[in-house]
Amino acid sequence: MQIAYRDAWQLDLPRTTQSQAQTGQLITYEEAQYGDLVFFKTSRTNIHVGVYLGEKQFMHASTSKGVIISRIDNPYWASKFWHFRRIDNPPLMQD
């Protein structure tokens, strides 16, 4: 996620997902916009991160499938949802 954010929006994120989960502003599901980070607790100690794309979709890296787009309302991801974060200068959606 760190490289994708830097390449797309010239914004640096902390190296670890745990640090990323404490960066920027905590926002609600209703406030989430394109480019916000979405976090999931996949186990007691593991955190997964993606970039929100709008329309209940997010981009993330899958260990088995590479970079993919998934739905937040998918039963698996919905059960693991933790929170959204907005990085200081949120990116604007490009046409």
CA 41-81-38 angle, 5° bins: 90
Q: Is 32 exposed, middle or buried (0-12, 13-18, 19+ CB in 10 A)?
A: buried
Say if residues 39 and 49 touch (Cβ distance below 8 Å). Answer: yes
Q: What is the mean pLDDT of the chain?
A: 89
pLDDT, one tens digit per residue, over 48-68 is 999 999 999 999 998 899 999
Sole residue written with tokens 């745990």: 18
At residue 28, the 3 state secondary structure works out as coil
Sole residue written with tokens 């993606």: 50
Confidence of residue 95 (pLDDT cuts 50, 70, 90): very low
Q: So what CATH class is 2-86?
A: alpha beta
**pTM confidence score:** 0.85
